[in-house]
Structure 1
Amino acid sequence: MRITAAQRTENENRIRASMDRLLRGEIPHGGKCDIKTLAREAALDRTAFYGTRPYAHLREEFERRLRSLHDAGDIPDPRDAQIERLKTEITKLKARLALSDSTVEELNDFRIQALARLTAQHDEIVHLRAKAAGTASVTQLPAARTTVIGSCS
């Protein structure tokens, strides 16, 4: 069924009004900023926007305007904006996690080295004490005296 020029103009006006609302971020419940929602909001069949159909040029205009908004960093669909924000946050968190993992690994290596040094020092002390106990030429020193410095009376 053919439509009249007046109907075509009315449809194009509805499409443009719906397009403007969607691109401003006025997304209806259950919709997205896409052709399917645009067709539903304009009360038209979605197939009218594809191929050589009468409103294909408006689909191209909508996609071009949506792409330019995305390129400018303005995302009209709040879900898409949230997805982009969450992707950015995930990237930052992955970087923080990698940094934390490397720090933990470095600290574990340091702990292992410190324990190895302490073990070697302990073994050396035990060895020297055993050697000193078996030698008669080592004289034990008396315990240190503690001197209290007091007031003169």
Structure 2
Amino acid sequence: MRISTAQRTENENRIRAAMDRLLRGELPPGGKCDIKTLAGEAAVDRTAFYGTRPYSHLRVEFERRLRALQDAGEIPDPREAQIARLKTENAKLKERLAASEQTIDEFTDFRTQALARLGAQHEEIVWLRETAAGTSRISRLPPSSRTTVIGSCN
């Protein structure tokens, strides 16, 4: 079924108006910033945007304008913006996780070294005590029977 020039002009005006709304981020519920939504908003058959159909030049224009917005850092589709934000946040969290794991590994190595040093020092103290107990020149003082309180007034 052929359409008149007036109908085609009216359809192109509806398509351009819908295109402007979508590129401003005014998406219908459940819609995306894509050709399917554009066709639905303009009340035009989606197949008219492909091949040698009458509105293929408008599809090319829509995709060019959408790409230009995306290159400028503006994403009209809030879901796409959310996906991009979540991907960035995910990458940052992965970096933080890797840094945390490295810190945990460093602390684990430090703990292992500290325990090894404490064990070696304990062994040395035990050996020194045994050596000191076997030497006759060292005498041990008996424990004090009264405790002296420094600075008390009776």
TM, length-normalised to structure 2: 0.90
Q: What letter matches 1:46 in structure 2?
A: R
Partner of 2:43: helix, strand, or coil?
coil
Unaligned runs of 5+ in 1: none
Unaligned runs of 5+ in 2: none
Q: CA RMSD in A?
A: 1.7
TM, length-normalised to structure 1: 0.91
Aligned equivalent of 2:76: 76
**Superposition pairs for residues 23-34 of structure 1, below 5 Å?**
23-34=23-34
State the 1:138 CA deviation: 2.2
1:131 paired to 2:141: no
Aligned length: 151
1:148 paired to 2:147: no
1:65-113 superposed Cα distances (whole Å, 9 cap, x missing partner): 0011111111111111111111111111111111111111101110110
Aligned equivalents of 1:76, 1:85: Cα separation in 2: 13
Aligned equivalents of 1:5, 1:28: Cα separation in 2: 29
Name the % identity: 72
Query: 98-107 or 130-139: which moved more?
Result: 130-139
Aligned equivalents of 1:19, 1:50: Cα separation in 2: 16
State the 1:139 CA deviation: 2.8
1:2-36 superposed Cα distances (whole Å, 9 cap, x missing partner): 11111111110010000000000000001000000
Aligned equivalent of 1:105: 105
**Superposition pairs for residues 24-63 of structure 1, below 5 Å?**
24-63=24-63
Aligned equivalents of 1:109, 1:43: Cα separation in 2: 67
Aligned equivalents of 1:41, 1:24: Cα separation in 2: 14
Structure 1: 4+ residue segments shifted above 4 A:
141-147
